[in-house]
């Protein structure tokens, strides 16, 4: 079991130590779950108040917070300090050394130094895997895929042919990279084309045959990217679908073919991004937001939860609502609805007088 002195932890998180009681730190936990060998994480007002009921001797607190009788480590950015502590106590998933006997690795594949391949993994032709990367059980790596150094693929990851993945990439359970894009065409103009062009559907195609458009592009993932469980990113039709360096993608996200996602983006669970979207750098897309195809979102934009984005927006936008509009316009809409309610209430108050006036002058 890992154990640290409060002095060591203070140095690791870059905090300021106020020494009260001696403590040997073996774990971290919220105050109510902490014992004398636990560093209590009191990052907010509720947790700070709970320290009075805690068995802990030491606590991580925001800068300026001191608790009588406690050893406190004050930090300017509590969540940043918490991240450092979680890395300190984190236990990496276990995987066998080398190539597991049940794995199938094509003879043309090139594995770097200290690569670990788990049970039932399939590695296709001409795959390249960089040094120190780990591929856990039941994963599939398609032909011609290139995987960088220090990557970790959790169980059940599926990588399509020719997918390129950078260094220090983490893929969680069930990630799918490089499936065919959802791309089809009909021989004659269909109802979708009519609706887009004319705003209505006039003809009925009784013999409606849908042809698949093959995807011959692939997917390119940058460095230091993390992709959550059961997220899917489709290959491009001709060009590649791309994800920029340092972007973090949550569970259950769908990114369509030909999309270009910038660097340092945060994409939260259940977001759906239709094909051929261009997303700038440092864009935040909150949970369950949906983006229509062929739109562009400028850098440093925030798209709020459940927004339905049907058009492009410039950089540094804050996008809200269905259909999505800039935040200031959304607030105006809310104010207009509130004003309308007040006007309607006034009308109902004077409606009998108005009716009487109309009857008198008919």
**Which residues are known to be catalytic?**
257
Report whether the peptide linkage leading into residue 323 is cis, meaning its omega lies within 30 degrees of zero.
yes
Task: Give CA–CA dist 265/67, Å, rounded.
Answer: 38
User: 3-state SS string over the chain?
Assistant: CCCEEHHHHHHHHCCEEECCCCCEECEEECHHHCCCCEEEECCCHHHHHHHHHCCCCEEEEECCCCCCCCEEEEECCHHHHHHHHHHHHCCCCCCCCCECCCCEECCCCEECCCCEECCCCEECCCCEECCCCEECCCCEECCCCEECCCCEECCCCEECCCCEECCCCEECCCCEEEECCCCEEECCCCHHHHHHHHCCCCCCCCCCCEEECCCCCCEEECCCCEECCCCEEECCCCCCEEECCCCEECCCCEECCCCEECCCCEECCCCEECCCCEECCCCEECCCCEECCCCEECCCCEECCCCEECCCECCCCEEECCCCEEHHHHHHHHHHHHHHHHHHHHHHHHHHHHHHHHHHCC
Structure token digits, residue 272: 């759906």
Burial 192-203 (b: 16+ CB within 10 A, else e): eeeeeeeeeeee
Q: Is residue 55 within 8 Å of 33, Cβ to Cβ?
A: no
Based on the number of CB atoms within 10 Å of its own CB, is 119 exposed (0-12), middle (13-18) or buried (19 or more)?
Answer: middle
């Amino acid at each position: 079991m890992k154990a640290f002195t409060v002095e060591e932890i203070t140095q690791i998180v870059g905090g300021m130590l106020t020494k009260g009681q001696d403590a040997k730190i073996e774990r971290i936990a919220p105050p109510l779950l902490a014992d004398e060998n636990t560093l209590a994480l009191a990052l907010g007002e509720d947790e700070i108040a709970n320290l009075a009921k805690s068995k802990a001797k030491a606590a991580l607190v925001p800068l300026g917070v001191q608790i009588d009788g406690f050893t406190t480590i004050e930090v300017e950015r509590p969540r940043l300090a918490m991240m450092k502590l979680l890395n300190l106590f984190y236990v990496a998933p276990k995987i066998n050394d080398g190539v597991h006997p049940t794995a199938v690795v094509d003879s043309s594949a090139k594995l770097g130094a200290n690569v670990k391949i788990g049970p039932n993994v399939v590695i296709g032709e001409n795959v390249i895997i960089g040094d120190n990367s780990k591929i856990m059980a039941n994963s599939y790596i398609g032909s011609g895929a290139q995987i960088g150094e220090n990557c970790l693929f959790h169980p059940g990851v599926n990588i399509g042919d020719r997918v390129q993945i950078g260094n220090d990439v983490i893929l969680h359970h069930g990630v799918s990279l490089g499936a065919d894009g959802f791309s089809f065409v009909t021989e004659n103009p269909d109802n979708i084309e009519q609706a887009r062009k004319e705003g209505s559907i006039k003809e009925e195609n009784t013999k409606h045959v849908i042809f698949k458009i093959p995807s011959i592009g692939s997917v390119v993932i940058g460095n230091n990217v993390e992709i959550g469980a059961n997220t899917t990113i489709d290959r491009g039709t001709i060009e590649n679908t791309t994800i920029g360096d340092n972007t973090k993608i949550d569970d259950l996200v769908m990114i369509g073919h030909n999309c270009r996602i910038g660097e340092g983006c945060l994409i939260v669970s259940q977001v759906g991004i239709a094909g051929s979207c261009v997303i700038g750098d440092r864009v935040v897309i909150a949970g369950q937001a949906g983006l229509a195809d062929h739109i562009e979102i400028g850098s440093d934009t925030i798209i709020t939860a459940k927004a339905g984005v049907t058009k492009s927006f410039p950089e540094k936008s804050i996008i809200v609502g269905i259909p999505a509009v800039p935040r200031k316009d959304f607030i105006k809409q809310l104010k207009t609805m509130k004003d309308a309610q007040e006007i309607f209430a006034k009308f109902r108050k004077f409606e009998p007088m108005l009716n009487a006036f109309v009857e008198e002058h008919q």
